[in-house]
């Protein structure tokens, strides 16, 4: 099961100029309103920039990036993929080892239909509680299994399990060739026993939308699957364009990371 903390946790958290801190940070934010992007604050903006991580894109362009976390399959990803295909919207699916083993056909379809498969770790641990070698192992296993299943050669996007990270884990991932992708739009959607109907998901997306949004949705949610098509159609009517994370990275100076399509 995927968990994330969507609360305002951007307190003053000093980072040493020389030491690499392993103080755990739970990604969170004050939700966007009136199409004004949320702000993490200067400390976190600087930290993420140092390691090529990001949570939103250009606030002046009505472009959004759709991402999904896939910890396990709950019967709704096929419908989500159908909607994305119909509306010609690219997405990134961050998968775990469990998902790769239990939903191989869906992962193959993701890549076949032009989506990106990203890394959400093999066993979904708190990265701040394991050593560097174990983090690399978690990431390597997902990358290799994805390649075996789909032929996707490269994997540069990752999302930390539970949204927990530290400066150390950012560095380990960057050194392994990964870019951390956080999010600027999210809500409690992963509790399968507390689904509230498609309007809940739709309203949360529309209330929090902003230029440059990185949208996080969980595929275990029936609400998300039922709301997705209307949300995409209505966002397009409001002038928003959906792009791939590759498009964003290509516009940034992210060193020698290889972009794939």
Q: Is residue 19 part of a domain?
A: no
- Structural domain for 199, as ranges: 38-250
CA atoms within 13 A on the CB side of 211: 7
pLDDT of residue 12: 29
Start-end of H helices in the chain: 42-50, 77-87, 97-102, 104-112, 132-150, 167-175, 198-208, 222-237, 245-250
pLDDT of residue 254: 57
Rg (CA), the chain: 17
Compute the mean pLDDT over every residue in the chain, rounded to the nearest whole number: 90
Mean pLDDT lowest among 6-10, 21-25, 67-71, 242-246? 6-10
Q: Which residues pair with 119 in a beta bridge?
A: 95, 158
Give mean pLDDT, residues 124-143: 97
Q: Is residue 178 part of a domain?
A: yes
Could you give the residue numbers annotated as active site?
69, 218
Q: Residue 178 belongs to a domain with what CATH number? A: 3.20.20.370
Q: Is residue 131 part of a domain?
A: yes
- Counting the structural domains of the chain, the total is 1
Q: Is residue 11 part of a domain?
A: no
pLDDT of residue 28: 81
Q: Is residue 25 part of a domain?
A: no
Quick: pLDDT tens for 163-214.
999 999 999 999 999 999 999 999 999 999 999 999 999 999 999 999 999 9
Confidence of residue 5 (pLDDT cuts 50, 70, 90): very low
Q: Is residue 134 part of a domain?
A: yes
Q: Is residue 106 part of a domain?
A: yes
- In what helix (H) or strand (E) does residue 164 lie, and over which residues does it extend? strand 164-165
Q: Is residue 145 part of a domain?
A: yes
Quick: pLDDT tens for 14-71.
333 346 888 898 998 788 999 999 998 899 999 999 999 999 999 999 999 999 999 9
- What percent of the chain has pLDDT above 70? 89
Q: CA-CA distance, 159 to 92, in Å (whole number)?
A: 11
């Amino acid at each position: 099961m995927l968990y994330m903390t969507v609360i305002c946790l951007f307190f003053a958290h000093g980072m040493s100029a020389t030491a690499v801190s392993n103080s755990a940070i739970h990604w969170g934010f004050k939700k966007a309103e009136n199409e004004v992007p949320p702000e993490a604050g200067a400390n976190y903006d600087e930290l993420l920039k140092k390691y090529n991580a990001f949570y939103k894109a250009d606030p002046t362009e009505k472009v959004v990036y759709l991402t999904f976390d896939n910890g396990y399959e709950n019967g709704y990803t096929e419908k989500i993929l159908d909607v994305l295909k119909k509306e010609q919207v690219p997405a990134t699916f961050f998968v775990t080892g469990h998902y790769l083993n239990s939903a191989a056909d869906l992962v193959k379809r993701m890549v076949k239909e032009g989506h990106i498969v990203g890394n959400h770790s093999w066993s979904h641990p708190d990265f701040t509680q394991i050593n560097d070698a174990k983090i690399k192992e978690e990431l390597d296993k997902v990358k290799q299994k994805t390649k075996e299943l789909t032929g996707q050669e490269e994997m540069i996007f990752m999302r930390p399990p539970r949204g927990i990270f530290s400066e150390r884990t950012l560095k380990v991932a960057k050194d392994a060739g990964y870019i951390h992708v956080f999010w600027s739009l999210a809500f409690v959607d992963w509790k399968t026993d507390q689904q509230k109907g498609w309007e809940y998901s739709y309203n949360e997306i529309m209330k929090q939308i902003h230029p440059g949004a990185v949208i996080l949705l969980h595929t275990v949610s029936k609400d998300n699957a039922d709301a997705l098509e209307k949300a995409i159609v209505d966002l397009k009517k409001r002038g928003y364009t959906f792009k791939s994370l590759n498009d964003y990275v290509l516009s940034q100076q992210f060193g020698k990371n290889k972009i794939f399509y």
